Amino acid sequence: MKFRFIIWIFLFVSSIAHAMNTWDKNTVYIAGDIVELNNTTYVATYWNINKQPQPNGKSWDGWVTLNIEQVNDWNNSQAYQGGQIVKYQQQFYLARWWNQKANPSSDNVWLKLNINLPVSDQDKIDELTQNQIIPNLEREESLLGIDDNQNGIRDDIDLFIEFHYPELSQQKAVQQLAKSLQNSLSVDTTDIILVKKSNRDNTRAISCIYDRFNSPSQLKSPANIIQEIESITSNTKLRLTTYLAFNKALDGTTWAIPEGETCE
C-alpha cells in the first residue's frame, strides 16, 4: 500500500489589492482612478479622456505614476503639491491641490485611493492558522517533533484533531491513525519485521477510520481524513523523506485486510 500526496499551498499576494483596469482611450477617468499601461501603474489627477499616461513625473497632464514601495508617509510639516501621493495609517491619499498640515484622513484636500498595502505571505499564513483554516503546524528540525504529554502524537497534531474532530469516538479513531503514522517515522526500515508490524498498525487504524466515518452525511470522506493526517504528519522534508522510505521498505510485501474490531 502506498500513500502519495502532494501539498500545494499557493498564496497570491497582490501589490495593489483591487482589480486594476488597463488604460482605455475611450474611457472617462476622474481623479483617483487607477489604471495600468505598459506594466506601469498610474493614478488620474483630474477628469480626463484620451490622455495617455506617461511616466514623465508631471501631474498636470492628468496622470501620476504609482509605486507603493516608494510612497512616503505623510509629514505634518511638509508642504504638498497637487498630484502628490502619501501614505497615512495604512492607506494612500492623492493631494488635490497644494496643502500643508492638512490631515489626509479628515481634510477633503486629500483624496483617498482605493488601494491597500500588500499583505506578506507570513501575514496570510498567520491569518489562516489563527482562523483554523490551515493547521498551525510545528516544523522543528527533529524527526518526531514535540510530544510533551508523551501520548505518541505530536502536540500540534493533537490540537488539530481535538479542534476538527470533537465527537469522541471519531476523535479517538483519528488519534489512533496519527499515533500509528507517527510511529512509522521511527521504525528501522532495515528490519522488515518491525516495518510489517508498523504497517499492520497503520492498516488497523485506517480500517477504524472507515468504521467511524461511515455516514454519507460526513463532511470529509475517510480517504480525505487519512490523507489529511498523513500530510500533517509528514510536514517537513525530513519527515516526508522518512515516511517515503518507510513505504519503500514495504515494496514486495503483502498483508491481509484486518478483520473484526480494529479501533483501540
pLDDT at 109 over 70: yes
Query: Where do you find CATH 2.10.10.20 in the chain?
Result: 28-112
Q: What is the CB neighbour count within 10 angstroms for residue 174?
A: 25
Q: What is the pLDDT of residue 81?
A: 92
Give the model's confidence band at 106: pLDDT under 50 very low, under 70 low, under 90 confident, else very high.
confident
Ranges 4-8, 62-66, 252-256, most confident:
62-66
- DSSP code of 57? S
What gap in Å lies between CA 215 and CA 180, rounded to an integer? 24
For the domain covering 28-112, report its CATH number.
2.10.10.20
pLDDT tens digits, 238-256? 999 999 999 999 998 887 7
What pTM does this model have?
Answer: 0.53
Q: What is the pLDDT of residue 132?
A: 59
Q: What is the CB neighbour count within 10 angstroms for residue 233?
A: 23
Lowest mean pLDDT across 15-24, 31-40, 108-117, 187-196: 15-24
pLDDT above 90 as % of the chain: 62
Q: What is the pLDDT of residue 235?
A: 86
Q: What is the CB neighbour count within 10 angstroms for residue 103?
A: 14
